Amino acid sequence: MPIESETNVSIITPFLNGVPYHSRYSGYERLVYFLKPRPSIYHTLNFPRATWKALRPLRVSRVLPKFYDCPIAEELAIRSPSKILHHLYGEDTFLLSGPKLFRGGKKIVVTFHQPKSMLEKVMPFYWKKLIRTVDRIVALDLGQFEFLREEFGGQVVLVEHGVDTEYFSPVPKAKATASLCLSVGDHLRDYPVLLEAMRLLTRKLPKFRMTVVSNSLTTVPLKNVTLLRNISDERLRDLYRSSHFLVLPVRQATASNTLLEAMACGLPVITTRAFSFYTRNRGCLYYEPGNPEGLAESMQKLALSQDSCIKLGIEARNRALELSWTRVAKRIMEVYDGIA
């Protein structure tokens, strides 16, 4: 059943903080706890879901979105008394909200998370026609915004992903060592390049060590890399706080919880310019996608310079504060006000 609230906004989401298998403090759904007044929440796990077996032919043929399995939850959210329905993860929950005939006058807001190439793969073949009818599309980074704006014009607004800067916060560190760095996550990660960079780097720094937190990797063929899976929120935050720097290997992306949480904890980041909209050249070093030699060079630079890590860590924290959920929620509420 939905989590009701006295508000003109309903939220539909496949994820919710604190629900089993999802972090209490991470994710775009964290937004709902900073909206005032609190919206009504339609968490798709609380409703009967269509089975993968039944929907698979429609997904393969791209008649349905690749991850869509929530027609009952979406229908009830549409029929709710609120004036606005916000799909927090449009790739997962948006379908019935498209045709104006089914909406009953409700305003529709959709946030998309995937970069252009992924959107074309996970959405149905007619998705551009379907999405033209919504009232606002929220883009999470500049590249995604430009692509969506070209397709859909003034419907599209750019509002950044946020981060809980109170939970993810720095603490005074013991003297850092060159043997402690971190990589976290699975989606769109380029781990082959990272592991090759590690091989190259350890030829010069034999004592260098890395911790990787990933549920997609099963083994890591390097003795100087520790693989962790399914760790607690507190353990992850401790790793952010105690590590020397974060390595985020990607070729393409929009936003990243890992990036924002690490920066909020005062952790310097080595990544590609796929995240330049979020880093704004502060608190980070860049390497070229697919270039393990360049990544190894950047890692060596931070591994050998505690002063650089301290300087970049301060920059990272300050940038993260500009992306606090309090600020982001205020901008999302302005989006609602603009269509109410």
Pairwise pLDDT comparison (100 vs 21), residue with the higher score:
100
pLDDT at residue 186, rounded to an integer:
93
Confidence grade of residue 175 (pLDDT, cut at 50, 70, 90): low
Residue 100 has pLDDT above 50, yes or no: yes
Q: What is the pTM of this model?
A: 0.94
- Give per-residue pLDDT as tens, 121-144: 999 999 999 999 999 999 999 999
What's the chain look like in SS3? CCECCCCCEEEEECCCCCCCCCCCCCCHHHHHHHCCCCCEEEEHHHCCCCCHHHHHHHHHCCCCCCCCCCHHHHHHHHHCCCCEEEECCHHHHCCCCCCHHHCCCCEEEEECCCCHHHHHHHCCCCHHHHHCCCCEEEECCHHHHHHHHHHHHHHEEECCCCECCCCCCCCCCCCCCCCCEEEECCCCECHHHHHHHHHHHHHHCCCCCEEEECCCCCCCCCCCEEEECCCCHHHHHHHHHHCCCEEECECCCCCCHHHHHHHHCCCCEEECHHHHHHHCCCCEEECCCCCHHHHHHHHHHHHCCHHHHHHHHHHHHHHHHCCEHHHHHHHHHHHHHHHC
What size, in residues, is the chain? 340
Structure tokens at 310: 């301290």
Residue 290 has pLDDT above 50, yes or no: yes
- Give per-residue pLDDT as tens, 62-76: 999 999 999 999 999
Percent of the chain clearing pLDDT 70 (strictly above): 95
Average pLDDT over residues 258-273: 97
What the chain holds in terms of domains, given with CATH numbers, is 9-162+324-339 (3.40.50.2000), 181-321 (3.40.50.2000)
pLDDT at residue 7, rounded to an integer:
65
Residue 179 has pLDDT above 70, yes or no: no
pLDDT at residue 21, rounded to an integer:
58
Q: What is the mean pLDDT of the chain?
A: 92
- Give per-residue pLDDT as tens, 3-53: 545 569 999 999 998 766 568 899 999 999 999 999 999 999 999 988 878
- Among 39-43, 162-166, 173-177, the range scoring the smallest mean pLDDT is 173-177
Nearest to 62 by CA among 1, 128, 2: 128
Nearest to 186 by CA among 126, 284, 79, 258: 258
Residue 178 has pLDDT above 50, yes or no: no
Confidence grade of residue 101 (pLDDT, cut at 50, 70, 90): confident
